[in-house]
Structure 1
Amino acid sequence: MVGEESPAADPSQDYSIVARGLLKSFGRLRVLNDLSVRIPRGTTYCLLGPNGSGKTTFIRAVAGLLRLDGGYLSVLGEPVHTVDRVYPRIGYMTQHKALYPDLTLRENMEFYAGLYGIEGGERDERISELLEMVDLADHIDRITGDLSGGMYQRLSLACTLIHDPDLLLLDEPTVGVDPILREAFWRFFDGLAEGGATILITTHLMDEAERCKTVGYMRGGRMLAEGSPEELKRLAGLRPILRLWVKDPRASASSLAAEGLPVEVVGGVLQVRIEDTRRLKEILERVEPSDLRLVEPSLAAAFLRLSEGGSR
């Protein structure tokens, strides 16, 4: 049965999510295809991948909202088929609208607080704190259906956080949120992770993925690459580029190429792909540039390279 395994098979309690060989199909479409991943407690973990790669399906499986066809999945130390035991410790913010449009912001938050048995002064204090955090305190009695898209996202996040969950599942939570508030959200997420909570997030915003401790790249229902943002760039075959302004770019390029360095001239500027940082001093001494700039590869470039199936 999915999710059942002897306790000795995974004795560690250091992981919020442990998945091995997950399978899920919708008709003839295989959405999760032998997916395996372990996500530690107290971390920020970003799922990247093209549309249809299985990210949302995986999050829904973790939340206990769909039945897997095979594999093993545990959530907060419990097999997924007993997720009801840990459900009060999970916060899930879906891409779809899940709030009541005819209720005010206060009433929506009171409803979600009630689901987790939060009442009285504790409830009121928590609502005030979270609405302040998402910059909606001045709109507490406004009808939810009248909110803009960005304000709705902010209220959804506040409702997701009402019970102070140990595991946050956030499916593109900052869509439509302005950069200043996104920064505030991420400071809050980082604080939660430092306190021991786990944040699993999907996003198409590469600057957000860069902020996560670990990035997992999915394609075709599999986990193809995993590591820190810097490690993922290297797995995609990307390296820093050293741009050098020199008197005779072509002569300098020939000199460096003779030493086995990957070099080219672009727009009259020497560009050297840095495979080994220990050779930087050698490069600078050989060409004596008048100016230089080190260009780090972006996670967006790594995403494109991995989407195309390329690495080197």
Structure 2
Amino acid sequence: MFRGLRALDGLTVRIPRGATYCLLGPNGSGKTTFIRAIVGLIRLDGGDLHVLGEHVSSVRSLYPRIGYMTQHRALYPDLTVQENMEFFAGLYGIDGQRRKRRIAELLEMVELSDHRDRLAGALSGGMYQRLSLACTLIHEPELLLLDEPTVGVDPALRQSFWMYFDQLASEGKTVIISTHLMDEAEKCRIVGYMRSGRMAAEGSPDEIMQLAGLKPHLELLLEDPERDASLLRSEGYEVEVSGGVVRIRIDKHAQIKEILEIISPLDMRLREPSLEEAFLTLSGVA
């Protein structure tokens, strides 16, 4: 409870190992509170929480197995990139050649190898995020908790981050990510949509879109839109005509062939539903 507000209310979540799991939802929905609870930064008023097979109260044994990247600036501004990396490596007892190798490969991944002597406090926002992620990964955690990790990161590097996250998941590690970016949520194996402290919907991106009642549709340019729309309706299709364009909702892609056997469009475009549309629908906006 926060000043009478129940931040996580009746929340039940089971996240499998080896998955990329996206926490999606509007500001104030409870995403960050949930992540903070996982790492033991918030004491729960009720309920039960187990992390990596252990009760969350087992903080000492859990911390070395978890990597947590917070939204807030958690690095030391007066230390260089290299020194921050060495500090976090030391916290987890990583030394010698292993430390040297691990720092080198992570700085290369986040494209900071040429900036290792710069002070963290002098980095741009995007570069700071990259260093923060590298420090979070230094001890090769089994569970990675990333609170909006790609804010300020350019699209190309963001793509390389996601390739790395997918690699971690393929190795059996679990990656939990909170984000407002719909294209990132679509990359995850499981999406949990939170609203007002509750899990409003959970499943794969396709399952979330089905929960929102969204379906793909065809946009057809036809010589006689009204005539062909009437013909398609007689075959049981859900059709609307707008601006001379015929739109048909379909349940499965195999129906496209069936439609083309009924009419001959001048042009055709298939529009797949997006997770953003599902987000707006579940939020009651659309």
After TM superposition, is the score higher than 0.5?
A: yes
2:56 — aligned with what? 80
Identity of aligned residues (%): 67
Consecutive unaligned residues of structure 2, counting only runs of 5 or more, are none
Corresponding position of 1:245:
221
1:58 to 12, 27, 34: 34
The yes-or-no answer on 1:178 pairing with 2:146 is no
- Separation in structure 2 between the aligned mates of residue 208 and residue 35 of structure 1, nearest angstrom: 23
SS at match of 1:35: coil
Question: Is 2:161 aligned against 1:161?
Answer: no
Contact between 1:46 and 1:216, CA under 8 Å: does it hold in 2?
Answer: yes
1:132 aligns with 2:132: no
- Residue 280 (structure 1) aligns with: 256
SS in 1 for 2:231: helix
Aligned length: 286
Offset, 1:70 = 0.8
Which residue of 92, 96, 101 corresponds with 2:68? 92
Aligned to 2:77: 101
Amino acid at match of 2:20: T
CA deviations 1:129-171 (Å, max 9, x no partner) are 1011100000101111100000000000000000000000000
Shift in Å, 1:82: 1.2
Quote the residue 1:112 is aligned against. Answer: 88
TM-score by length of 2: 0.97
Shifted more, 77-86 versus 211-220: the winner is 77-86
Alpha-carbon deviation of 1:281? 3.0
User: Which residue pairs with 1:44 in the alignment?
Assistant: 20
SS where residue 211 of structure 1 aligns? coil
Query: Secondary structure of the equivalent of 1:121?
Result: helix
Equivalent in the alignment of 1:226: 202
Which shows bigger deviation, 261-270 or 232-241?
Answer: 261-270
- Over the aligned positions, Cα root-mean-square deviation in angstroms equals 1.2
In the alignment, the residues of structure 1 paired with residue 90 and residue 232 of structure 2 have an alpha-carbon distance, to the nearest angstrom, of 68
| Shift, 1:309, TM fit | 7.3
* Cα distance in structure 2, aligned partners of 1:295 and 1:65: 43
The secondary structure found in structure 2 opposite 1:31 is: coil
Q: 1:199 maps to what in 2?
A: 175
Q: CA deviation at 1:250?
A: 0.9
Matched position secondary structure for 1:70: coil
Greater share of strand residues, 1 or 2?
A: 1
Higher relative contact order, structure no. (Cα contacts within 8 Å, ≥ 6 residues apart):
2
